[in-house]
């Protein structure tokens, strides 16, 4: 493509993709699907690699991340991030209103907003472009997390419109919505990582990660609620919020202008009943004087503004009796205990069940059948047991003994050293594990067979149509048409019949056929190998390039891959030793699924024939990016230093053994800066 045409196309794609990002992440009204979006983004990324000088400042490719931050720089806030006074009672709200009216004789309007349970962030824009993002810190100084914040798609990199100039500061809250949090935690458990305690901790931990490419994969979102800057034309807080919305920021729809403290209290009560149904956590309501002039007149104390206060909801609790404990088996074989409770009203819903997580939690709580337990929602959808009411315990109650055998197939359970969960090792013949693997295989991040959902997979399994993921690709029209399943009615008491009709069958077969085009790294993830999550699957696919090479890999070969440890390597070796697994892979290959990683287009031959070992942490690029650059310029990557190695590319915290071996073999050791010079 000619330079001028490439420049124009990059500009067009940038505008187009940013518009789709806004529609999806801010307006929640997408007009294209993920496949179309990814296709356009890939075209943009390819053009930017060829013509990096034409990359726009707000390029959506920046959202993918890749910058590694070894140390977060401390930055002084231009406007201190003060804390708000908290209250838990209506009386204290009335006191606040009286204090305001002692200083302001004119009528006062209040604006009420949701108090998000996340991480406060200060966004600095210069002439409409995001320049810096800083955490709250101690209120005076915070950490510069710009590289990570750029990956959050609901935060504009460039503002819409032109009614702004100079520097403006936008305050907001970075959150992790509950659905994204639950999915994210599930992935962590599947690969053997500890789950985060709540969405706020997950958001805070994500913001301080060193690799922004990893942050980009986390389901972070953002709402903004305050604007500051010199000579702004707005007279009220409501006007500034409307301006933020017009500039492309995500502003909560749940805010209200109130003419009295009674209206404020009414709004707090209204949101209190609604908050359990919100898709994200809030822990209160922020009340601000709406007039900016009146805010200025009221001023500040040493720690907080006099014109604002936050009302915090108390975590809702209830007491009920533990009737029994069920044990559920997940797709990886992990056995999760679930408490069956006497129904009790809590935060607007009737609670009948609560997760007990694992055997250690049962032991720590010392919870027993028949105990009266305290349960709490605290803004979360899934209730948790927080304590036992010992005053009501039966003297003859006995401690709970965790199961020895799988509740589904009877196999003796195992527990790996250092892990909290008990597992059923009968992964190929335990029904819930089989169904779980099928559901994982069709999921959006795996094979994306969107016409098959959980109920339909169960239907196919129960009718004996599928037993392995490979069976999906043998399904024919006559296998599906007319299948029926009766679903018991939960509320109405009336049973419902699910049946596969002509259109349903066509949609299923079309979706299965389309999934044959899914790339190898997602096929590998879809297999559901224990500890091989989405990120690990990508690293393995890009390192070994094909399923055959991965299956032939030794323990040392696997450990040579970045971030692959003993546990993941051991799981892979065990998986490929099972003949049934090899048969499934063979059947998937015969069905036309991709078993090879496509080679990246070569940009130059500058590194042709050169073998590199990359080790350590780098300042300008991630290790994956450097390895990709080596291949794009004709070089080869190796995992360990040998006599064939030409260069050891050394970053910070590089393993001393690699350096020692390179020195012994006379391999040239180069820095990141020297490597970049080789490409220029």
Whole-number Å distance between alpha carbons of 381 and 535:
28
Of the two residues 451 and 116, the one the predictor is more confident about is 116
Whole-number Å distance between alpha carbons of 146 and 207:
9
- Paired tokens of 342: 């006497």
- The answer on 482 and 568 residing in a single domain is no
Which of 11-20, 264-273, 282-291, 375-384 has the least mean pLDDT?
375-384
pTM tops 0.95? no
- The answer on 556 and 445 residing in a single domain is no
- 606 falls within a domain: no
- 422 falls within a domain: no
Query: Which among 153, 418, 107 is positioned nearest to 290, based on CA atoms?
Result: 107
Long-range contacts, stretch 386-389, CB < 8 angstroms, 24+ apart: 386/317, 389/319
Which of 448-452, 571-575, 628-632, 636-640 has the least mean pLDDT?
636-640
Q: In the listed set 500, 517, 534, which residue is the last one of a domain according to the structure? A: 517
- 389 falls within a domain: yes
- The answer on 457 and 560 residing in a single domain is no
Domain with residue 570: its CATH number is 1.10.150.20
- The answer on 622 and 576 residing in a single domain is no
Residues forming beta bridges with residue 142, ordered by sequence position:
75
pLDDT at site 391: 92
Dump pLDDT digits (tens) for 151-179.
Answer: 999 999 999 888 888 899 999 999 999 88
Give residues with Cβ within 8 angstroms of 275, minimum separation 6: 282, 313, 347, 379
pLDDT at site 88: 83
Q: In the listed set 457, 487, 517, which residue is the last one of a domain according to the structure? A: 517
Domain with residue 355: its CATH number is 2.40.50.140
- 83 falls within a domain: yes
- 154 falls within a domain: yes
- The answer on 303 and 324 residing in a single domain is no
Dump pLDDT digits (tens) for 327-347.
Answer: 999 888 889 899 999 998 876
CB neighbours (10 Å) of residue 65? 21
Q: Which active-site residues does the annotation give?
A: 115
Dump pLDDT digits (tens) for 547-560.
Answer: 999 999 999 999 88
Whole-number Å distance between alpha carbons of 439 and 374:
34
Residues 281-301 as b or e (16 or more Cβ within 10 Å = b): bbbbbbbbbbbbebbeebeee
Of the two residues 37 and 543, the one the predictor is more confident about is 543
- The answer on 208 and 298 residing in a single domain is yes
- The answer on 292 and 263 residing in a single domain is yes
Q: In the listed set 517, 550, 570, which residue is the last one of a domain according to the structure? A: 517
Of the two residues 476 and 164, the one the predictor is more confident about is 476
Domain with residue 133: its CATH number is 3.30.470.30
- The answer on 547 and 640 residing in a single domain is no
Let me know: does 160 contact 248? Beta carbons within 8 Å. Answer: yes
- The answer on 543 and 469 residing in a single domain is no
Which of 133-142, 455-464, 480-489, 646-655 has the least mean pLDDT?
480-489
Whole-number Å distance between alpha carbons of 345 and 460:
37
Q: How many CA atoms lie within 13 A of 676 on its CB side?
A: 8
Query: Which among 365, 356, 533, 377 is positioned nearest to 440, based on CA atoms?
Result: 533
pLDDT at site 379: 47
- 595 falls within a domain: no
- The answer on 664 and 620 residing in a single domain is yes
pLDDT at site 492: 45
Whole-number average pLDDT of the chain? 88
Long-range contacts, stretch 566-571, CB < 8 angstroms, 24+ apart: 567/192, 567/531, 568/191, 568/531, 568/532, 568/536, 571/529, 571/530, 571/531, 571/532
320-330 average pLDDT score: 93
Dump pLDDT digits (tens) for 287-300.
Answer: 999 999 999 999 98
- The answer on 452 and 308 residing in a single domain is no
State the pLDDT confidence band at 382, using cuts at 50, 70 and 90: low
- 415 falls within a domain: no
- 603 falls within a domain: no
Total of domains in the chain: 6
Q: Is the pLDDT of residue 30 over 50?
A: yes
- The answer on 574 and 502 residing in a single domain is no
Host domain of residue 359: 317-404
């Amino acid at each position: 493509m000619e330079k001028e045409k490439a420049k124009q196309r990059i500009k067009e794609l940038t505008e187009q993709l940013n518009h789709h990002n806004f529609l999806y992440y801010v307006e929640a009204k997408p007009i294209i699907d993920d496949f179309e979006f990814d296709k356009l983004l890939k075209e943009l990324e390819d053009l930017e690699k060829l013509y990096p000088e034409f990359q726009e400042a707000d390029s959506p490719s920046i959202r993918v991340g890749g910058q590694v931050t070894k140390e977060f720089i401390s930055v002084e806030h231009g406007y201190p991030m003060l804390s708000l006074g908290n209250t838990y009672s209506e009386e204290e709200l009335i006191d606040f209103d009286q204090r305001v009216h002692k200083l302001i004789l004119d009528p006062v309007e209040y604006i009420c907003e949701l108090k998000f349970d996340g991480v406060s962030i200060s966004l600095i824009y210069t002439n409409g472009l995001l320049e810096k993002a800083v955490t709250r810190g101690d209120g005076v100084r915070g950490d510069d997390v710009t590289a990570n914040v750029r990956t959050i798609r609901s935060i504009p990199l460039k503002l819409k419109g032109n009614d702004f100039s100079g520097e403006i500061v936008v305050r907001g809250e970075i959150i992790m919505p509950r659905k994204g949090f639950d999915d994210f935690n599930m992935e962590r458990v599947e690969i053997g990582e500890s789950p985060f305690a709540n969405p706020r901790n997950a958001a805070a931990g994500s913001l301080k990660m060193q690799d922004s490419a990893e942050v980009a994969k986390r389901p972070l979102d953002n709402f903004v609620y305050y604007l500051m800057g010199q000579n702004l034309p707005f007279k009220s807080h409501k006007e500034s919020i409307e301006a933020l919305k017009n500039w492309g920021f995500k502003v909560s729809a749940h805010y209200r202008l109130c003419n009295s403290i009674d209206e404020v209290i009414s709004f707090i009560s209204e949101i209190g009943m609604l908050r359990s149904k919100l898709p994200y956590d809030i822990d209160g309501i922020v009340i601000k004087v709406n007039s900016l002039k009146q805010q200025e007149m009221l001023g500040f104390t040493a720690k907080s503004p006099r014109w604002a206060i936050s009302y915090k909801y108390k975590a809702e609790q209830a007491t009920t009796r533990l009737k029994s404990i069920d044990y559920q088996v997940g797709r990886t074989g992990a056995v999760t205990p679930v408490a069956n409770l006497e129904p009790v009203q809590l935060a607007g819903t009737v609670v009948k069940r609560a997760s007990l997580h694992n055997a250690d939690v049962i032991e720590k709580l010392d919870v027993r059948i028949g105990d009266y337990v305290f349960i709490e929602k605290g803004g979360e959808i899934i209730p948790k047991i927080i304590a036992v009411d010992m005053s009501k315990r039966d003297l003859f109650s006995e401690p709970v003994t965790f199961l020895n055998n799988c509740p589904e197939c009877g196999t003796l359970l195992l527990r790996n050293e250092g892990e909290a969960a008990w597992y059923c090792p009968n992964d190929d013949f335990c029904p819930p594990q089989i169904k779980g693997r099928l559901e994982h295989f069709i999921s959006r991040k795996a094979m994306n067979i969107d016409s098959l959902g959980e109920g339909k997979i169960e239907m196919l399994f129960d009718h004996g149509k599928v037993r392995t993921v490979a069976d999906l690709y043998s399904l024919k029209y006559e296998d599906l048409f007319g299948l029926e399943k009766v679903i018991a009615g939960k509320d109405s008491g009336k049973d419902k019949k699910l049946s596969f009709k002509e259109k349903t069958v066509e949609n299923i077969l079309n979706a299965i056929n389309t999934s044959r085009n899914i790339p190898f790294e997602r096929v590998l993830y879809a297999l559901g190998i224990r500890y091989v999550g989405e990120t690990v699957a990508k690293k393995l696919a890009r390192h070994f390039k094909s399923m055959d090479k991965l299956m032939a890999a030794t323990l040392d070969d696997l450990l040579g891959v970045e971030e692959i440890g003993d546990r993941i390597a051991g799981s892979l070796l065990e998986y490929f030793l099972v003949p049934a697994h090899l048969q499934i892979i063979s059947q998937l290959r015969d069905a036309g699924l991709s078993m090879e990683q496509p080679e990246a287009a070569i940009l130059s031959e500058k590194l042709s024939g050169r073998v590199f070992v990359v080790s350590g942490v780098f300042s300008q690029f991630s290790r994956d990016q450097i390895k990709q650059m080596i291949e794009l310029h004709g070089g080869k990557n190796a995992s360990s230093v040998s006599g064939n190695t030409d260069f050891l590319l050394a970053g910070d915290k590089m393993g001393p053994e690699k350096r020692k071996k390179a020195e012994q073999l006379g391999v040239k050791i180069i820095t990141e800066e020297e490597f970049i010079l080789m490409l220029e």
